[in-house]
Each structure stands twice: as C-alpha cells, then as structure tokens.
Amino acid sequence: MNITFEELRKIKHLLPTGSIGRIASELSTDEQTIRNYFGAEKYAEGNTVDRHIQPGPQGGIVHLKDTKILEVAKRLIAEKQN
C-alpha cells in the first residue's frame, strides 16, 4: 500500500490518547515499534517496520508492506468518532 508521509502522520495525530499502547498490545509488539511505523525511526529502540519512503511532495510516498498497524489505527479513530 502507498500513502504519503503527511497522511501517515495525520493518522497518527488523530489517534486517541493511549492508542500507541493499545495497538502495541493488540499486535503483540512494543510501543516504540508502533511509533517507528508512524515516522519516529530516529530512535534506536523498537523494531524498524517494513516500509520504504520515496522522496517527494507531502513528505514523500511511503510504501507499507504490512498494513496491520494502519488498519488498527484507522479502527481506533473510527471508534473515537462514534
């Protein structure tokens, strides 16, 4: 799946408080890995995620090979809105 880096960061900012922990728990991973998914890879902790960023407008295009984290994030945002 391709998404702009700007769109990915917008989704992260729309998440309700505590969502990083909820996503990590649901997917049995650590919180820093979830943060890395949304663009915080400058931190050494946590796993890097399987993605590739192609430079371009809106922060570039991010190719996500695994969309599980994104799907859970979108579900949590929808729950917050309902």
Q: Which domain holds residue 32?
A: 2-81
Q: Closest Cα partner for 10 from 65, 68, 82, 62? A: 62
pLDDT at 41: 60
Per-residue DSSP letters for 11-41?
HHHHSPTTHHHHHHHHTTS-HHHHHHHTT-T
pLDDT for the residue numbered 36: 86
Number of Cβ atoms within 10 Å of the Cβ of 42 = 6
Number of domains in the chain: 1
Tens digit of each residue's pLDDT (9 = 90 or more) over 36-78? 888 766 545 555 555 556 777 777 888 888 899 999 999 999 9
Q: What is the pTM for the complete model shown?
A: 0.80
pLDDT tens-place string over residues 2-34: 899 899 999 999 999 999 999 999 999 999 889
